[in-house]
């Protein structure tokens, strides 16, 4: 038996779309793949795909991890080259 479709409020759909756009723009601007963003934030790649496609509304802890990374990149700049690899390794261990 098929599951009934959930009805999603229009305001929630707009918020999901806004979040999806923010995540895609951030990744593009910082040359991050979904895989690398996943490693840095600890959010699964599948969840990132779902967020960016606008099919799910992220949990608060997911939004918090993304916001911490966004603020870090805004304040310190995007790591590049060897510095990038070392920072990504640290960030992957939760050392924002």
Residue 29 lies in a domain: yes
Residue 6 lies in a domain: no
* CATH number for 27: 1.10.260.40
Residue 2 lies in a domain: no
Residues 45-91: tens digit of each pLDDT: 999 999 999 998 899 999 999 999 999 988 888 776 555 556 555 65
Question: Structure pTM?
Answer: 0.69
Residues of the domain holding 83: 12-92
Note the helical H segments in the chain: 10-29, 34-41, 45-52, 60-76, 81-92
Task: Tally the domains of the chain.
Answer: 1
> Are the beta carbons of 88 and 46 closer than 8 angstroms?
no
Tokens 């918020």 -> residue: 15
Distances (CA, A) of 33 to 3, 10, 12, 43, 78: 33, 30, 26, 13, 14
Tokens 């967020």 -> residue: 51
Residues 33-58: tens digit of each pLDDT: 999 999 998 999 999 999 999 998 89
């Amino acid at each position: 038996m098929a599951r009934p479709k959930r009805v999603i409020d229009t305001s929630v759909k707009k918020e999901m779309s806004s979040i999806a756009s923010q995540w895609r723009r951030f990744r593009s601007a910082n040359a991050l793949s979904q895989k690398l963003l996943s490693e840095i934030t600890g959010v699964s790649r599948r969840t990132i795909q779902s967020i960016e496609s606008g099919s799910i509304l992220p949990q608060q802890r997911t939004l918090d991890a993304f916001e911490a990374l966004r603020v870090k990149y805004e304040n310190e700049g995007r790591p590049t080259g060897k510095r990038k690899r070392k920072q990504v390794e640290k960030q992957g261990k939760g050392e924002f």
